[in-house]
Structures are given as C-alpha cells and as structure tokens.
Chains A and B, each alone.
Chain A
Amino acid sequence: MRRLRSSLIVAGLCVGWLAAGLAAAEVDPPAARDVLDGQVKNALAILRDAKLTPATKRQKIRGIADQQIDFETLSRLTLGRYWRDLSADQRAAFVEAFRNHLSNTYGTLLNGYTDEDVTVAGDLREPNGDCTVQLRVIGTVNGSRQELAKVDCRLRRKAGWKVIDVTAAGVSLAALFRAQFQAIMANGGFDRLLGLLRAKASETNQK
C-alpha cells in the first residue's frame, strides 16, 4: 500500500512536471539557437544522404530554407527606403523573385559541400531583440579536422524565429544584397531590378 502511494506520488509529480513543461513550452517558444540547430542538422542529413539525387537534395534544402528564412523581412532590409514606395503587388513580386533567385543558388551549395560539420558555438541577444546564433564550420584541412569558418546567423522573431541575415568571414549577405539593390534602384529603378532578379533566377535554373 505504501509502495502504491509512493508510486502515485511519483506519477503525480511526473504529470505535474510534464504539465509544467508543456505550459512553459506554450509560453516560451523554442529558443532561436535550438530552432536553427535543428534545421542545420536536418540540412546536413540531406546533404550527406548518398541515396538522394542532387535534384531531390536541392528540393529538400529549398523546403528548409523556405521555412527558415524570413524572405519578406530580408527584402525590406535589403531594399531599405525603396520598400516604402512599392505597391503591395510590387512587394509580393519582389519577395517571390528574391526567394526564387536564392533558391536557385542552393545547387552551388550542394556542389561545394565536402562533408563539413556545422555546430552551434553560442548565441547573442541583439539590442533590438534579434538573436545572433554563432555557427562553426568544421572541415578537413591537411588531413585533420579543424575550424574552417565562423558563420553568424541573425534571427528575428515574428511568427517564430526566422533567419534574416547570414554573415561569414565578416561578410554579411544582407549587406551584399543591399549594396547591389540600392545601386540598381538608383540606376534604373524597380522594374530593372525585378527584371534582373528574374533573369538571373531563370539563367541559374537552366544550368
């Protein structure tokens, strides 16, 4: 009887912990680093899966990227002040063209992959609430495994944490695109930029 009571108390405690855990999970969504860590592991598993064809790998990587990258925020940041002047249709067209352009470059990522590992080294809370997750790329150099690159992923929480920039070796992709978009917008306007983005996506897609 005493054993049963003890078992019931332990079971009750477990249920309590579980309920508390579930409640906490509802209040605090997964941390940015956990979200990114999970998706990086999924992506590495796809890249390493010898049974998948390059086309399937690319499609699956695109699925992860579509889920994990906030293309609309990235578009807003890279267009800067020009974003405000665009109509809703132009914005939607731009986000779609930008997404297609980036997704067509995943093939290059597949070609360049040579069994590197990616680990989460830490995270930083930015002053505006964003979170920067610090990744380390580990690969083989001169026969030994060593750190190849430091990569920072900046995530913003809107409907969940999503990536808004990637910085490798001090080079920010958002800054790279912003510089190009601003230069093209100042010298040809939105139609030229959209045309170039679409042409590039189509050119890469045909390769």
Chain B
Amino acid sequence: MRRIAVLCAGWALIMLSGGCAGGGNVDPWEKTNRVFYNFDDGLDRAVLTPVNGFYVKVVPAPIRTGLGNGFDNLFYGNVILNDFLQAKWNQGLGDTARMAVNSTIGIAGIFDVASRLGLPKHENDIGITLGKWGVAPGPYLVLPLLGPMTLRDTPGIVVANATNPVTWLFPPLYVTVPLGIGQALDRRSRVDTAIQFRNALAIDPYVFTRNAYLQYRDNLVHEGRKPVDQSLYEEVPETSPATAPAATRAASRPAR
C-alpha cells in the first residue's frame, strides 16, 4: 500500500515538474522518446508488419472480427468503470448491459449482438477520465512496446489490466501467453491502415505520430466538441506584421 502511495506521489510530482519544466513544451523528453520511438518502429517493420501480413492472409476476416470482438469484450470493464467515473450513468448502464449481452448471447463476446440491439460500443479509459476531471495531458511519452501516450494516460496501463477479468483468475502460462499473442495480433491488425497512412504521409514520422496522438486524445476528452483553433487557418500577411492590418482572430465555434 505504501509503495502504491509513493508511486502515485511520484507520478503527481512528474506531472507537475514535466508541465512546468517544459514551459508549454508538450515533449520535454523528446530525445529519449525518439530512441524508444525508433525501437518500436524498428520492431514493427522487422517483426509485426510481416507477422500481421501473415495473420491477415491466413486467418479469415470473420474469425479476425470475432477475435477482436472477444478482446473488446474482455476489456470492456475498463470502459464501464470510466463511464461511471465520469458520471455518465446512462452510458454506464448501457455499456454494462452491452457487456452482459455479448458475454452470454454473444458467446464470450465473439459475436457483437449488443450493437444490433441498440447498445453501441464506446471508447473510454482512465486517461480520458482524468482529462475530464481537468488534469492536463502532461509530457508526451513513448514507451517501448506500448507506443505513444501522455503522462496522464499512464495509469491506464494498470487500470486496463485491473479491470480485465482474466487478471483475477491467475490463469496458467499456457492460457495467458496465447491470449497475449492473440491480443497483440488483433491490436496490430486494427491499426494497420493507420500505420500505412503514416508511413505514406509522414515527412517526420515521430512528429507526425506525436501530433496525431495528441489531437486524437484531445478530441476524445472533449467528445468532438472542442472549439476549432481558428488561428490555424489564418494566412500570414505578406508584409511585416507591424504594418499589416491585424489578422482577424475569429471567434471560436464547437468542432462539430
């Protein structure tokens, strides 16, 4: 218990120091992050991309979808917990019903029966909850094997595992290892199109990934309702700013 308290205090301290030391810099640990990013990217190109190609080629799409549904269902307790932490009572009840329906009628979540019954899937985690509670994202972070996140998202690693029922069953290795491999294959296959787009579009893949991740997470925290930053769409005047008419900083409007 004492260790957990020390860990939490350390996390809070880093959140504060990282935010202050950066002076608005979202990536004060860029040098280390780039090392881990290159490690993750190298691993992806050398191992995960070919393995994913094999997985997609060998395993038929309906089976891949079923496996993906099953893993979503296994981790859905995390979504429900965070629904309630954000006081989204109706969504929390709906998501609980969704997990119950898919776990039973949907046979361990393999078939997404709940969506057809009007219980849609939601995305939620502790990073989003902390964001809604007003916690700033903190420094950007890249971890080996885990990829991009912000310091605010790091408790999600613990919470996602704590809300996974398999964790509490303490299954033997011959169950956890295939489950872990299956989960890794599923996750990689889902982000394949996004990785292909990044590889095709990015001029600086590290900055591209960082910016895309931060924008995406920010949008989730604000549920697509964050005012659009209109300054992005102001064209720089040709003459020097001192003599040019002041650029109109238009009023903000909700994103959607």
Q: Is the CB of B232 within 8 A of A180?
A: no
**B197 at interface (Cβ–Cβ under 8 A)?**
yes
B172-209 CB contact bits vs A (8 Å, 1 = yes)?
Answer: 00000000000000000000010011001111100110
Q: Is the CB of A171 within 8 A of B219?
A: yes
Q: With the chains together, A156 CA to B233 CA distance in Å?
A: 10
Q: Is the CB of B232 within 8 A of A142?
A: no
A80-99 CB contact bits vs B (8 Å, 1 = yes)?
Answer: 11011000000000000000
What residues of chain A lie closer than 8 Å to B215, measured between beta carbons? 170-172, 175-176
Give the nearest-CB partner of A82 in chain B: B236
The answer to whether A111 and B208 touch (CB under 8 A), given A77-B233, A171-B215, A197-B203, is: no
Q: Is the CB of A170 within 8 A of B236?
A: no
What residues of chain A lie closer than 8 Å to B69, measured between beta carbons? 142
The answer to whether A176 and B208 touch (CB under 8 A), given A127-B250, A170-B255, A171-B215, is: yes
Q: Is the CB of A172 within 8 A of B232?
A: yes
Number of A-B contacts (CB under 8 A): 115
Find residues 43-78 in chain B having any chain A CB closer than 8 Å to their own CB.
65, 69
The answer to whether A128 and B211 touch (CB under 8 A), given A142-B115, A180-B203, is: no
**B40 at interface (Cβ–Cβ under 8 A)?**
no
A interface majority secondary structure: helix
Q: With the chains together, A181 CA to B208 CA distance in Å?
A: 10
Nearest chain A CB to B145's CB is how many angstroms away? 24
What residues of chain B lie closer than 8 Å to A108, measured between beta carbons? 196-197, 200-201
The answer to whether A169 and B248 touch (CB under 8 A), given A127-B230, A142-B115, is: no
A100-126 CB contact bits vs B (8 Å, 1 = yes)?
Answer: 011011011001100000000000101
**B88 at interface (Cβ–Cβ under 8 A)?**
no
Q: Is the CB of A178 within 8 A of B219?
A: no
The answer to whether A180 and B112 touch (CB under 8 A), given A77-B233, A150-B256, A152-B256, is: no
Nearest chain B CB to A186's CB is how many angstroms away? 11
Q: Is the CB of B219 within 8 A of A169?
A: yes
- Out of A152, A178, A184, A196, which one reaches B232, CB within 8 Å? A178
Give the nearest-CB partner of A134 in chain B: B256
The answer to whether A104 and B219 touch (CB under 8 A), given A76-B236, A112-B193, is: no
Nearest chain B CB to A135's CB is how many angstroms away? 11
**B251 at interface (Cβ–Cβ under 8 A)?**
yes
What residues of chain B lie closer than 8 Å to A172, measured between beta carbons? 215, 232
Find residues 211-233 in chain B having any chain A CB closer than 8 Å to their own CB.
211-212, 215-216, 218-220, 224, 226, 228-230, 232-233
Give the nearest-CB partner of B112 in chain A: A142
What residues of chain B lie closer than 8 Å to A130, measured between beta carbons? 233
Q: Is the CB of B204 within 8 A of A184?
A: yes
Q: With the chains together, A47 CA to B85 CA distance in Å?
A: 44
Give the nearest-CB partner of B229 in chain A: A175
Between B200, B201, B224, the greatest number of chain A beta carbons within 10 A of the residue's beta carbon is seen for B200
Give the nearest-CB partner of B235 in chain A: A76
Give the nearest-CB partner of A80 in chain B: B236
What residues of chain B lie closer than 8 Å to A144, measured between beta carbons? 115-116
Q: With the chains together, A73 CA to B232 CA distance in Å?
A: 12
The answer to whether A200 and B216 touch (CB under 8 A), given A126-B233, A175-B232, is: no
Q: Is the CB of B202 within 8 A of A180?
A: yes
What residues of chain B lie closer than 8 Å to A65, measured between beta carbons? none
A156-181 CB contact bits vs B (8 Å, 1 = yes)?
Answer: 10000000110101111011111111
Q: With the chains together, A128 CA to B112 CA distance in Å?
A: 44
Q: With the chains together, A165 CA to B251 CA distance in Å?
A: 19
**11 A-B pairs, CB-CB below 8 angstroms?**
A107-B200, A126-B250, A154-B233, A167-B255, A169-B216, A170-B224, A170-B226, A176-B215, A179-B210, A183-B204, A184-B203
